[in-house]
Amino acid sequence: MAGMRRFCSTRRLFSAPSLHLYAALLLAPLFTAAPGLRAQSPAASPMPIEQPTVLVSATQRHATSLNGPWHFIPDPYRNGWGGWPDEPSAPSPNGFVADKHFDPRGPVQEYNWPDEPELAVPGDWNSQRAELLYYEGLVWYQRNFTYHPAAGMRSFLHFGAASYRANVTVNGKNVCEHQGAFTSFDCDATAALKDGDNSIVVAVDNVRKRERVPTTKTDWWNYGGLTGEVSIVEVPAAGFIDEDRLWLERGAGDHVSGRAHVEGVATGTPVHLRLPELHVDVNAKTDAQGIAHFSFEPKGLERWSPEHARLYRVEWQVGSDQLADTIGFRTVEVRGGEILLNGKPIYLKGVNMHAEAPRSYAAYPESKSGRAWSEADARLTLGYARALGCNFVRMAHYPYPDAFLREADRAGLLVWSEIPVYWSIDWTSPEALASAKSQLHEQILRDGNRASIALWSMSNETPPSPDRTEFIHKLIDQARAEDPTRLITSAMVTPFHKDAEGNSTATLDDPLVPYLDVLGYNEYIGWYTGKSDDAPSYRWSDPSGKPVIVSEFGAGAKTGMHGDVRDRFTEEFQAHLFEKQFEMIDKMPFVRGTTPWVLMDFRSPTRLLPGIQDGYNRKGLVSLSGEHKAAFEVVRRQYAKTPAQMTAH
Ligand code: GCB
C-alpha cells in the first residue's frame, strides 16, 4: 500500500508545524512567543487563545444548533475591543465581550446587548441590511443560549465559515481566533462553557488587506459575517475521531484504504469500521500518532460516477465515540492527455459557479441573495448545472459550504474545488503564504471524503512571475502530500500573441504547467479580447501534452435585453459568443473539459454599468431569479453531444 504509507499521518506531520507557524505569524506582532512554543496570551486575557482545529465530520455529529437571530453591533471605530489607545491582540474583557446590561445608575456603558438589533446566522451581513451592503470592517455578534454540558464530553463550537477573521469569546473568555473566510473550523470551548445560561460573542472582521488571501481586489462581493452554520458539537473527552478518510486506490481491483485519527487515546486503542452494505467490518489499532490505518477489498463495490452516484454508509467507532457518514468510491487520474474516472476517459462538461444564493422567487421563496450556505441553495444551483447537462462544476474561487459538496456527491457532479489565490496575491508575504496554506489544509481535511471532488485548484488567473510560481509550487507540494488521490490544477491566463503570419495564437506554456496534472486556461475571446466570430480561427498549442480544461469563457447579458449579436449585454450577443467558442473548442484536440463563465449572475462591486450591471456580474447563464438566458440552451446543446462529436476534429 504505497498510497497508504504516503498518506499516513499527513495531518499530524503537517498540521503541527504549519498551524504553529500560522499562529506564530499571525500573532507574532501581537504576542511575545518563544519560537516553536504556543503564543502566550496577554495578561488581560485570562485563557490562552487556541488555534481552532477541524473536526473532519463535524456536520455529521449530533449538535446543538446556534443558528438563528444573533444581536450585532457594527464597530468601524473598533471600540468593542476594549483597548485604549491601542487595540489589544484579542478582545479585552472590558469591551463588548462583556455581556453586561446597561444600568442607568451603574457605570458608563455605551452598548447593551439585549437591545441591539439582530442578524440571521448563518448569513452575511451585507445582504440582510441595506445600511451594511457596502460595510467592510468589524462587526460584533452576540447571543445567549442555555446549555447543559454532558459529563465526560468535550464541547466544540463549530463554525461553517466566518468571513474573514473571527475572534470567539464564550462567557467573556477568549476561546479561539480563525482567519480565512471560507473554511470550517472548530474551537474547543469546554473550559469556557457553563451549565445553564451562556453568552457567546464573536468579533468578525472582513477588512480587505494586501497580505490576505484573497487580497484587496476580487470580482465578487466581500461578504462579511457568520456566513456558515454555528453549532456545539460534543465528543467524548476520553477519545474521539477528529479525522476520518477512506479512498479507493488507483489501479486494478477494488482496494480501499483509510485512516482515522483519534484524539486523546493511548497507542493501541482499537478503532472499528463498518460499511454495512458492503459487509465490511474491520478493526485497526491506533499508532503512536493516534492514527489507525485500514486496508480492505470489499466484494461487489459499485463505483461512484456521474451516471451512478452510489454512496455507502460508513460507520466508525472508538470507545464511546461513534461517527457515521456517506461516502462514494472512485478513482481519478491522468494518462497522457486523458482524464480518467474509474480508469475510463471522461470529458468534463462543466460550468463555473459562485457560492451565491439566488434571489427570492416563486420556486424558491425561502431564498435571499447573498453568500449561499444551505442545502436548499446547493440543490437549486447544482440542479441548474444538471439541467444544463453537466457532469462537472468548477466551484470558483474559494472553498464551498459542506452542503454543496454533499449535494454534488448525491447529484453525481464532479467538482473542481479552489482556494482563493486569486489574481495578484502578495507573493512574497509570509502571512499570505501561511494563510493560503492554512486554507488549503482546512479544505482538504474537511472535504477529503467527498467523491465528487476530482481536482484541487491552487489559483486563478495569477500573472506569471518567479515569486508567483514559487508560492503556488509550495501549495502544490502541500496538496500532493495531503491528498495524493486527486488531481492538481490551476486556472491560468491564456497568453495570446500573433504568429509570423498574423494569426492569433495561444501556446499553453505558463511556468506552472510542469507542476500540474490538468491545465486550466481562461480566455475571453469576443468579450475582453478580439471578436467572437474570429474565435474558430485562433490557433492553440499544448506543448506539454497534458489535458486542458477551458476553465473560463463568456460574456455579459442582462436577462430580457435583446438585440443584434453585436450588441453587448444582449442575450443574443452572449448566445452567439458561446456558439463561436464551442466551434473553436471542438477543434482543440487536447481539451478534456469546459467550464463556461458562469452558471448564475452574482454580486460584484466592480460591475457598475447603470441599468445593466447595477453591481452584478451579468455573465450568468441563469439570472439570480432563475430565468434561463438564451445562452443556456447553447451550452445545453453542446453538452447533449457525445464526447466523440465534441472531439471529432
Ligand atoms: C475572470 C475571473 C472571474 C471574473 C471573470 C469576469 O477572468 O477569473 O473571477 O469574474 O473573469 O467576469 O470578468
Q: What was the pLDDT predicted at 532?
A: 98
Element (H, E) at 639: helix 630-640
pLDDT (tens digit per residue) in 170-184? 999 999 999 999 999
With a 6 A CB cut-off, is 617 part of the ligand 1 pocket?
yes
* Ligand 1: nearest atom to the Cα of 604: 10
522 Cβ below 6 A of ligand 1: yes
What the block records as the C-alpha cell of 158 is 463549530
Is a pLDDT exceeding 80 seen at residue 24?
A: no
> How many of the other CB atoms lie within 10 Å of CB of 497?
9
Q: Which atom of ligand 1 is nearest to the CA of 460?
A: 8
Mean pLDDT of all residues belonging to the chain: 91
CA of 34 to the centre of ligand 1 (A): 43
CB 201 within 8 A of CB 121: no
- Judge if the beta carbon of residue 219 lies within 6 A of ligand 1: yes
Residue nearest atom 10 of ligand 1, based on CA coordinates: 219
Answer whether residue 432 shows pLDDT above 90. yes
Closest CA to 499 of 488, 507, 489: 507
Question: Residue 647: its pLDDT value, please?
Answer: 62
Indicate whether residue 257 lines ligand 1 (CB < 6 A): no
Summarize pLDDT for 498-552 with one digit per residue, the tens.
999 999 999 999 999 999 999 999 999 999 999 999 999 999 999 999 999 999 9
Q: Identify whether the C-beta of residue 580 lies closer than 8 Å to the C-beta of residue 526.
A: yes
Residue-wise pLDDT tens digits, 331-367: 999 999 999 999 999 999 999 999 999 876 666 666 6
Q: Copy the grid coordinates of residue 307.
A: 451516471
> Would you state the pLDDT for residue 2?
29
Above 50 in pLDDT, residue 9? no
Q: What pLDDT was estimated at residue 146?
A: 98
- Percentage of the chain with pLDDT > 70? 90
- The whole-number pLDDT of residue 366 equals 61
Partners of residue 158 on adjacent β-strands: 186, 231
Q: Cβ(356) to ligand 1 under 6 A?
A: no
Distance 419 CA to ligand 1 centre (A): 15
More confident residue, 26 or 268: 268
Q: Residue 169 in contact with residue 91, Cβ under 8 Å?
A: yes
Would you say residue 11 has pLDDT above 70? no
Tell me, using a 6 A CB cutoff, whether residue 188 lines ligand 1. Answer: no
From ligand 1's centre to the CA of 417, what distance in Å?
A: 16
- Tell me the CA–centroid distance for residue 555 and ligand 1, in Å: 10
pLDDT at 404 over 80: yes
Q: Are residues 444 and 458 in contact, defined by beta-carbon separation less than 8 angstroms? A: no
For residue 10, what pLDDT is reported? 33
Q: Is 60 exceeded by the pLDDT of residue 44?
A: no
- pLDDT tens-digit series, residues 433-447: 999 999 999 999 999
What is the structure's pLDDT at 359?
77
The rounded percent of the chain whose pLDDT value lies above 90 is: 85
Instruction: Provide mean pLDDT across the span 298-323.
Output: 98
Q: Return the closest-CA partner of residue 144 out of 66, 198, 95, 69.
A: 198
- The answer, yes or no, to whether any atom of ligand 1 lies below 6 A from the CB of 601, is no
In the chain the domains, ranked by start, together with CATH numbers, are: 33-236 (2.60.120.260), 243-329 (2.60.40.10), 333-600 (3.20.20.80)
**What's the pTM?**
0.92
Among 597, 598, 603, 606, which residue has the most ligand 1 atoms within 8 Å of its CB, making it the best to mutate?
A: 597
CB distance 126 to ligand 1 below 6 Å? no
Distance 184 CA to ligand 1 centre (A): 25
